[in-house]
Amino acid sequence: MAARKSTKKPNVSADELKKYYREMLLIRRFEEKAGQLYGMGLIGGFCHLYIGQEAVVVGLEAAAKDGDKRITSYRDHGHMLACGMEAGGVMAELTGREGGLSKGKGGSMHMFSKEKHFYGGHGIVGAQVPLGAGLAFADKYKGTDNVTFTYFGDGAANQGQVYETYNMAQLWDLPVVFVIENNQYAMGTSVQRSTKSPALWKRGEAYGIAGEEVDGMNVLSVKEAGERAVAHCRAGKGPYILEVKTYRYRGHSMSDPAKYRTREEVQKMRDERDPIEQVRDMLLTGNHATDEDLKAIDKEIKAIVNDAAEFSKTSPEPALEELWTDIYA
C-alpha cells in the first residue's frame, strides 16, 4: 500500500512513444481549436479544456484492454479522443450539431459511446465515482475480467459519495481504478486551501484500498502505474487508487481568468514539465524519430483537427423534432 516510484528505465518501443506523442498532440491541438471556436461564438456554455493533462489519459489508455470501461467528469474531451472516439463527433457536439456524439443534446460535458465503452461526461462533481464503481459492479456480476477507469479531480476527491463508494468498492472487491486527476486546483481553490490531508491517494487506506501517487506529466510513469493498477483489479483484488499529479494550463472553464495562480507558475510548468515536450525530447534525443518525422505527425494532427472543426461548423443543427426524442427508451 506504500507509494511506489519507478526507478528503472521505461521499457517502451519507439513506435509506442510515437503513438503517445501523436495521441497527446491530438488532444492538445483539439483543445486549442475548441478554445478558438469558443472564442468565435461557435461553442457555447461551459467548455473545460484538458490542455496540460494529456499524459494522464494517454498513459492510462495504454494500460487498458478491449472491453475496459471509462467514465469521467465534465472535463472529458481528452478522455474521448484517447479512447478512440471521432474528433469530428466530439467537436460537433461542442458546437451543438446533429453530427455530435449526442446529436447535439449533450454538449461539452455530456458525451457517451457504448462502442468505445465511454460512459460520460458527467456534470455533477463526484457523481461519476459511484457510477464508475457500478460499471465495475456490472463487470464483476457478469464475470468478465474488465476494469473501469473512474476519473475524478482533486475537487471531487472531497465529496462524500467518493468515500461511500470507496467503502463499497473495497467491500465488494470491485474492479475499478479510481484515477484522481490532481491538477491542483478545484476551479479556483488550490488543494492546500481545501484540505489538510493533501495526499489524496492515501485516503483509500482508511478503507483498505491500495494506491499510489503518479507523475502525471510523464506519460510513461502514468502507463506503468496504470499497468500495476489494472493488474491488481484484474486479479480480483478489488479497487486501486492512482493519484495522478497533473496541471491544467488553462482556466477551469473558458470564462475563468485563473487569477488564483501566477502566470509564472503556469509558464514554469509548461517550460519544464510539459508532457508532450517530454516525449518529443525522448524521441529526438534517443534517435527514435527525426524532426521531419515529428513534423509529419504535427501536420497529420493539424489536418484531423481542421477537419473536425470544419465538420463541426457544417453539420446542421439538430432537427427541432429531436427536442422530443430519447426521453424514454
Least distance to another protein from the beta carbon of 32, Å? 5
The answer to whether 59 and 19 have CB atoms below 8 angstroms apart is no
- Out of 205, 265, 291, 317, which residue is the one contacting another protein (CB under 8 A)? 317
> Dihedrals φ, ψ of 182, to 5°?
-85, 95
Considering only residues 99 to 118 of the shown chain, the ones binding another protein according to CB under 8 A are 100-106, 110-114
Give the residue with the Cβ less far from another protein, 14 or 168. 168
- Out of 63, 133, 219, 222, which residue is the one contacting another protein (CB under 8 A)? 133
Print the binding letters for residues 206-245 with another protein: x by CB under 8 A, - otherwise: ----------------------------------------
The answer to whether 245 and 214 have CB atoms below 8 angstroms apart is yes
Q: Residue 108, CB half-sphere, CA atoms under 13 Å: how many?
A: 21
Distance CA(292)–CA(309), nearest Å, equals 25
Considering only residues 49 to 78 of the shown chain, the ones binding another protein according to CB under 8 A are 51, 69, 71
- Out of 3, 4, 141, 231, which residue is the one contacting another protein (CB under 8 A)? 141
Query: Which region, left, alpha or beta, applies to residue 202 given φ > 0 means left and ψ of -120 to 50 means alpha?
Result: alpha
- Out of 33, 203, 232, 248, which residue is the one contacting another protein (CB under 8 A)? 33
By CB under 8 A, residue 252 contacts another protein: no
- Out of 14, 22, 32, 207, which residue is the one contacting another protein (CB under 8 A)? 32
Give the residue with the Cβ less far from another protein, 16 or 46. 46
DSSP-derived letter for residue 318 is P
Distance CA(129)–CA(301), nearest Å, equals 32
- Out of 8, 9, 196, 263, which residue is the one contacting another protein (CB under 8 A)? 263
By CB under 8 A, residue 310 contacts another protein: no
Rg (CA), the chain: 19
Query: b vs e for 222-231, b when ≥16 Cβ sit within 10 Å of the residue's Cβ?
Result: bbbbbebbbe
By CB under 8 A, residue 321 contacts another protein: yes
Give the residue with the Cβ less far from another protein, 104 or 213. 104
Give the residue with the Cβ less far from another protein, 5 or 295. 295
- Show the cell assigned to 68: 475496459
The answer to whether 28 and 270 have CB atoms below 8 angstroms apart is no
Distance CA(192)–CA(177), nearest Å, equals 25
* Window contacting another protein (CB under 8 A); options: 53-61, 137-145, 231-239, 288-296: 137-145
